[in-house]
Structure 1
Amino acid sequence: MSTVAESPDTRPSRGPLTDLLTGGGRQRRIMWLVVGAIVVFSVVRVISGQQELTSSSTLSAALLLAVPIGLAALGGLFAERAGVVNIGLEGMMVLGTWGAGWGGWHWGWAGALVVGATFGAIGGLVHAVATVSFGVDHVVSGVAINLLAEGVVRFLSELVYVDGTGGGPTQSPSLASQPPSFSVPGLSSGPDVLGDLEAKGWFLLSDVAGLLRGLTSGVGLLTLFAVLLVPISYVVLWRTAFGLRLRSCGENPAAADSLGVPVIRLKYIAVIISGALAGLGGVFLVFIAGIYREGQTGGRGFIGLAALIFGNWRPGGLAAGAGLFGFADALQLRSRTAVVALLLLVAVLLAAVAVYQAVRRKLLQAILAGAFAAAALVGFLTIDVLPDGIVFFTPHITTLLVLSLASQRLRMPKANGLVYRRGEH
C-alpha cells in the first residue's frame, strides 16, 4: 500500500484574504508580540508616571504622523521589490507636498490628493528614466532627485504664489477644505466610556482604553485608506500574478525576461507607483498642517526608507517600523519629560534581548545588550529633562537604534540596485 502526500498544488485554496487574516504560528507570534508590547508600555508608564506614553492624544498623533512615513515606505517597497533602489523618496515627498498645497488651494482636499500623487509620480518617472533606461546608478539618481525637488518647488512657489494670493516663496495659501473624519460608533462616539477608563490610570486597562480611544476617534477617511493600503499591498505583491512578476524583476530579472516577463515595463510601473505613494505621504503632511510649507517633510522620506529596511521589505514589517517612528515623533511633540521615559523602555527591551542572547549562548551579544540596558537605566534615573535638540531628533535617533538592532536579519531582493540590460546576463 502506498500513500500519496498532499502537495501544495493540490490543496484547496482558502483565498488571499483568508490566508492573510487567518493562519497558524506566525499570526500567533505577532499577536503575542502586540500583547507583550502593550504590557511593557503599561509597566513603563506606571513606573515612570508619564501618562503621555499611552494617552489617547499621543496615540492619535502617532497614527497621524505614522501615515506619511508608512506611505513613503510602501513606495520604497514597490520600487525595491522590482529591483530599483529609491533613495529619492524624500524628493518625491517634497514634490507631493507642493502639489498638495497648490491643488488644495484650487480644488480642496480632493485636488490636493490627486495633484500631490501626480507630482510624486512624476518624480518616480524621472527616477525610472534615469535608472532603468539610462543605467544611472540608483543612489546617484535618488540623491539628484532629492536635490532637484527642493529647487523645483522653490521655483514654482516664486512663480505661482505672487502678491495677493496669500502665499509666498516658502508656503502656499491655506487649503480650501480638509478631508472628512469619523469616530467609531460605540467606542469613541456617544458616552466617553474609554476616556473615563483612561483617566483612572489603572495598569493595563487604562492603557488599552487609551489605545482604543486614540485609534478610533477623529480618524480621517484618508487615514483609514492609507492604513488599508498595507494589506492591499501585501495582496497585490504576494497573491497576484502581477506581484509575482514584479518581484521576479527584483530577484532575477534575466530569468524573468527569459520567461516572457516585461521587465523594463514592470520596473517603470513599480517606480511610478513608488513615486505616487511617496507623493501621497507628502499630501498627508499638508493635510496635518492645512498648508504647504517649505521643508515640511523634515527627512521623513529617509525615515520611511529606514522603516522599509527595518520591516525587511515586507508590508507588515514596514507598518510596524512606521508606527514606531510615528510614536517617537508624536511623543517628542507632546512632552519633553515623557521622552526620558523611553530610556526606561529601551532598558527593559535591551534586558530582554540580553536574556534571549544568553539563552542562545551568544555571550558577547548578551554582555553588550546588558551593558547598554544598564546605561539606559542610569540615564532614566539621573536625567529629568532632555535638551531640546535631543528631543527634536528623537525620531531620527530611534531610526538609528532600530536599524542597528535589525541589521543582522535583513534580506533585500537579490537584484536590488543592479543595472539591468536586456541580453547582457
Structure 2
Amino acid sequence: MSTATVAKPTAQQPGKGSRRFSLPVLLLIIAGVLVLTSVVRLISGADGITSTGQMSTALRLAVPIGLAGLGGLWAERAGVVNIGLEGMMILGTWFGAWAGYQWGPWTGVAFGIIGGALGAVLHAIATVTFNVNHIVSGVALNILALGTTRYLSKFTFEDAPQGSSKQSPPIDSLGTFDIPGLSSWLQTLNEKHWFLVSDIAGLVGGLVTNLSPLTVVAVALVPATWWVLWRTAFGLRLRSCGENPVAAESLGVNVYKYKYIAVIVSGGFAGLGGAFLSIVASNVYLDGQTAGRGYIGLAAMIFGNWMPGGLALGAGLFGYTDSLNLRGGTTNVHALILLLAMLLVVGGVYLLWRRKLISGVITLVISAVMFLWYAGTDEVPRQVVTAAPYVVTLLVLSLSAQRLRMPKADGLPYRKGQGK
C-alpha cells in the first residue's frame, strides 16, 4: 500500500517579505532622533521645539489625526478602503457641535460618534453590499458630507446667539487637568534647557499637562484597538476578511457582517475625531474645520504599516509639525530644517552602507541643500510653516513606501460564495 507524502502547509506571516523593525531597534531610532533634536536645539537656540507647551499642543493636534487613522485601520483590516474618513470627520464635527451646544459636551461627543457612523453606514452599503468602487464611494461621501453640513448649518446655527451659517455658538468645555506634582516638576526641568534631559522632560511633560478627558480616552483607544484586533477571536476573524475573505467564508465567518462592523466602527472613530475638533480643540464648529485631517489620518495609518503603534507615531509626527504653525513657528521650522538635514545625512550613510549608491548619493545631495538653506537664512517664510504638515505627509509616505504591506484583499470586491 503506497502512501502519498502530503506537504505540510506553512502559515505565511504578515509582512514576511518586508523588513520590519523590532521594538528594541525602534526604541533606539527614537532615542537617536531625540539626541539629534537636542543637538539642533542647542545649535539653533530654538528652545521651543521641545518645550512642554509645544508638545502639549502637538498632542492635542495629533488626537483627531490618530482617531481618523484608527478608523482607517479598522476598515482596511477588514478589506474596505475608507477614503471617506474626511467626510465622516466632517459629520462628526457638525453633529458633535449641534448636540453639544444644546445638551452639553459629552452628549456632543456621543452624537459626533453617531454622525460619523451614519456616514460609514452609507459607505458600507455602497462598497460591501453593492460592490461600488471604494475610492469612488469615499470621495462621494466626502462631497456629500460637506454639502449636507453646510445646508444644515443654515437653519440650525444661523439664528442662534453668536452663531452663523458657517459657525456654531460656543460649546461648553470638557475641562482640562494636569498630573499633580509631575507636570510642574517636568515644566521646571524643561525650562533649564539641559542637553537631552530637558528635551525628554518637555516631551513627557506635554503628555501630562493640560489634558482633556477626551484626549485620555483617545490615547487609550490605540492599545485597545491592538488588543481587540490582534488578541481576540473577533479580531482574527475581522482581519481574515481583509486578507482572504473566501478562505474566511469557508471557515464559517460571515464576511459581510464583519466588514459592516469594521466600517461602522471606522466611522465612529472618525466621528469622534471630528467631535474632538469642534468640542475640545476649538469649542465651536467652523465650516471647513477638518482641513484635510481625515486624509492625513489615512496617511498616518499607511505610514504605520496598518498597525496601531506605527499609526500613533505617524499621528504624533503630523501633529507636531502642525503645532509649529500654531505657536509662531518660523524660528522653530528653521531649526527643523537643520534636524531634517541631519536625519538625511544619517539616512544617506545608511543607504550607502546597504550599497544603494544612487539613493544614498541623492539623499546626501538633498541634505547638503538643506544645510545650505539653513545656513543662508535666519528664518523661513510663513507659507513654509503653513505647508509643513502636508509636506511632511508627502515625505513620510514616499520614504516609507518600500516597507509597506497592506492587507491582501484591501479594496478588492467580494461576493458571498465566489470561491465555490
Question: Could you tell me the TM-score, scaled by structure 1's length?
Answer: 0.91
> How do 1:349-360 and structure 2 match up within 5 A?
349-360=343-354
Equivalent residue, structure 1, for 2:36: 40
Q: Note if 1:292 corresponds to 2:288.
A: no
Equivalent position of 2:102 in the other structure: 106
Residue identity in the other structure for 2:347: V
Deviations 1:322-380 (A, max 9, x none): 00000000012212121111111111111111111111111111111111111111111
Q: Is 1:185 the equivalent of 2:177?
A: no
The residue type paired with residue 218 of structure 2 is A
The CA deviation at 1:27 is 2.7
CA 1:333–1:164: 2 relative to 1, 3 Å: closer
Paired residue for 1:21?
none
Cα pair 2:324 2:385 within 8 Å, conserved? no
Give the fraction of aligned pairs with identical amino acids, expressed as a percent: 54
Query: What's the RMSD between the two structures over aligned residues?
Result: 1.2
Deviation of 1:164 (Å):
4.0
Whole-Å separation in 2 of the counterparts to 1:162 and 1:61: 31
Q: 2:342 aligns with which of 344, 348, 351?
A: 348
Distance 2:333 2:160 in 1: 42
Alignment-derived partner of residue 411 in structure 1: 405
Residue 309, structure 1, aligned to residue 309, structure 2: no
Partners of 1:226 and 1:110 in 2: CA distance: 14
User: Where does residue 245 of structure 1 map in the other structure?
Assistant: 237
Aligned ranges 1:165-180 → 2 under 5 Å: 165-175=161-171, 177-180=172-175
Instruction: Tell me if 1:62 matches 2:55.
Output: no
Q: Deviations over 1:137-158 (max 9, x none)?
A: 0000000001111100011111
Aligned to 1:5: none
What is the Cα deviation at residue 186 of structure 1? 2.9
Aligned pair partner of 2:264 in 272, 276, 297? 272
Equivalent of 1:154 in 130, 150, 153: 150
- Counterpart of 2:403 in structure 1: which amino acid? R
Provide the rounded CA distance (Å) in 1 between the counterparts of 2:201 and 2:386: 28
Structure-1 residue corresponding to 2:141: 145
1:361 aligns with 2:360: no
- For 2:331 and 2:346, how far apart are their aligned partners in 1? 24
Which shows bigger deviation, 202-211 or 86-95? 202-211
**SS state at 2:155 partner:** helix
The alignment status of 1:218 with 2:214, answered yes or no, reads no
| Distance (Å, rounded) in 2 between the aligned partners of 1:353 and 1:158 | 52
SS in 2 for 1:28: helix
Following the alignment from structure 1 to structure 2, what is the Cα–Cα distance between the partners of residues 408 and 321?
16
1:325 is the counterpart of 2:318: yes
The aligned counterpart of 2:380 is 386
Deviation at 1:174, TM superposition (A): 0.8
- Comparing 206-215 with 338-347, which one deviates more in the overlay? 206-215
Partner of 2:10: none
Which residue identity is paired with 1:328? T
Aligned twin of 1:20: none
Contact 1:52 1:331 (8 Å CA) reproduced? no
**How many angstroms apart in 2 are the aligned matches of 1:423 and 1:27?**
41
Q: Which amino acid aligns with 1:312?
A: N
Distance 2:350 2:80 in 1: 36
The secondary structure found in structure 2 opposite 1:181 is coil
Tell me the alpha carbon deviations over residues 234-259 of structure 1, each in whole angstroms, 9 at most, x when there is no partner: 00000000000000000000110111
After TM superposition, give the deviation of residue 159 of structure 1 in Å: 2.2
- Listed one character per residue, the Cα deviations across residues 84-122 of structure 1 (whole Å, up to 9, x for unaligned) are 000000010000000111011011111110000000000
Is the Cα contact below 8 Å between 1:61 and 1:330 reproduced in 2? yes
Q: Would you say 1:227 and 2:219 are equivalent positions?
A: yes
Q: 2:417 aligns with which of 408, 418, 423?
A: 423
Q: CA deviation at 1:29?
A: 2.2
How much has 1:222 moved relative to structure 2?
1.2
User: Counterpart amino acid of 2:206?
Assistant: G
Compute the TM-score of the two structures, normalised by the length of structure 2. 0.92
SS at match of 1:219: coil
Q: Read off the aligned partner of 1:337 and give its amino acid letter.
A: T
Task: Give the match's secondary structure for 1:415.
Answer: coil
Q: Structure 1 residues 154-163 or 240-249, which shifts more?
A: 154-163
Partner of 2:5: none
